[in-house]
Amino acid sequence: MAERAATSTRRCTVNPLIGREIEGDEVLPASVKKKVLVAGSGPGGLYAAYTAARRGHQVILCEKESEVGGILKSEQALPFKHEMYELAGTYKLLAEKAGVEIRLNAEVTKEYAEKEHADALIIAVGSMPLVPPIPGLDGENVVIVNNYYLEKDKVGEDVVVFGGGLAGCECAIHLGMEGKNVHLVEMRDVLAPDANVRHRPLLLKEIEKYVTVHTGYKGLEVTKEGILCEDKDGQKVLVPGRSVICALGQRSRTDVTEELLDAAPFVRIIGDAAKVSSITNAVYWGYHAALDI
Ligand SMILES: Cc1cc2nc3c(=O)[nH]c(=O)nc-3n(C[C@H](O)[C@H](O)[C@H](O)COP(=O)(O)OP(=O)(O)OC[C@H]3O[C@@H](n4cnc5c(N)ncnc54)[C@H](O)[C@@H]3O)c2cc1C
């Protein structure tokens, strides 16, 4: 189901029924009511829990942190993405209204899951930021893009954004809009190749306005003065900036997933825990996992 959803042509980030209207919009009650445990409250886990509860299942949603939302929480620092942050609150409300029990500061381990004796477990534990072993990337002047909302005070007037995917580009635009002097370093020749086809041209226009871009630059070392890079001709170049935003991508939390794989009779892995992707896919996969229980 997930693969089919992933290839559908017309889709909506927040509503998995768009583009599939022909299948009907009814969430049918389950014939057998089950106990469902959902690990992780990013968009995928929230939507899975909401859908499972709508079907009449008893649903417990566990989040290891003190707030729901997963990566959506990081969107609150970017004014032009605030609605995306608010989406977590909307899904939380829907889930609560549908009867989901939400447990915060509750990390699902194998032991935790087995103690619950759930009939079904949805693993929606998401991903971790990629921080490769580049010298200086663990320095005081570096902020991981996911944590920017918590550490924005650490970011000075001259910034280098390391990584030109969607997250890096959007953060660079935001910093430029705040009047900072922003450089962006990207190893590939293109920026945000995976961005939505309609969104990408607008994104690139804003990049042109606010950011000095260095594509084809490989970051070798983070220093206090910026990122030492190698250009395509093998020349060493320092891209200046006393603060560095690390936006080098995400990797699935496979360690958690592997631990939980046998923790219930029915187990489904969804969202970034299955494959680092997008909000849309996390929501679609969550929705369909809940329909399959
Ligand atoms: C900076 C940034 C910007 C992005 N912008 C966009 C965008 O504009 N559009 C878009 O479509 N996508 C965007 N993405 C990607 C998108 O945010 C993710 O694909 C999406 O959040 C994945 O949702 P998820 O529910 O699978 O996981 P996550 O959002 O990662 O949530 C997983 C949750 O599981 C919790 N958890 C982990 N382990 C456990 C455990 N053992 N027990 C309980 N809880 C646990 C975590 O604390 C977390 O809250 C962005 C990504 C980043 C990093």
Which CATH number characterizes residue 221's domain?
A: 3.50.50.60
- 242, 261: one domain: no
* Ligand 1 pocket check for 163: Cβ under 6 Å: no
167 lines ligand 1 (CB under 6 A): yes
**62 pocket-lining for ligand 1 (C-beta < 6 Å):** yes
Q: Do 199 and 276 belong together in one domain?
A: no
Whether ligand 1 lies within 6 angstroms of the CB of 263 is answered as no
Q: Identify whether residues 188 and 172 lie together within a single domain.
A: yes
Q: Is the CB of 252 under 6 A from ligand 1?
A: no
Q: What pLDDT, in 10s, does the model give residues 126-149?
A: 999 999 999 999 999 999 999 999
Nearest atom, ligand 1, residue 44 CA: 25
Same-domain pairing of 137 and 232: yes
* Closest Cα to atom 37 of ligand 1: 125
- Ligand 1, pocket-test mutation among 125, 150, 281, most atoms within 8 A of CB: 125
- 261 and 123 share a domain? yes
For atom 15 of ligand 1, the residue with the nearest CA is 278
Q: pTM for this one?
A: 0.93
Domain containing residue 174: 131-246
| 268 C-alpha to ligand 1 centroid (Å) | 17
Between the alpha carbon of residue 98 and those of residues 26, 32, 70, 92, 103, the distances in Å are 15, 17, 20, 10, 15
How high is the pLDDT of residue 9? 57
Residues 1/291, Cβ–Cβ less than 8 Å: yes
Are residues 67 and 211 located together in one domain of the fold? no
Same domain, 115 and 258: yes
266 has which bridge partners?
A: 120
Of 42, 131, 141, 121, nearest in space to 88 by CA: 42
What is the atom index within ligand 1 of the atom nearest the CA of 129? 53
pLDDT of 110-130, one tens digit each? 999 999 999 999 999 999 999
User: Are 51 and 121 in a shared domain?
Assistant: yes
The beta-strand segments (E) located in 148-217 are 158-162, 181-186, 211-215
Which residue out of 38, 71, 108 has the highest number of ligand 1 atoms within 8 Å of its CB and is therefore the one to mutate?
Answer: 71
29 and 82 belong to one structural domain: yes
Q: What is the pLDDT of residue 12?
A: 76
Nearest protein CA to atom 5 of ligand 1, as residue:
167
Q: How many helices (H) and strands (E) does the chain have?
A: 9, 15
Low-confidence ranges of the chain (pLDDT < 50): 1-8
CATH number at residue 105: 3.40.50.720
pLDDT of residue 26: 78
* pLDDT value at residue 271: 98
Q: How many domains does the chain have?
A: 2
Is 176 near ligand 1, meaning CB less than 6 Å away?
no
The answer to whether residues 219 and 227 touch, using CB atoms and an 8 Å cutoff, is yes
Residue ID of nearest Cα to ligand 1 atom 20: 279
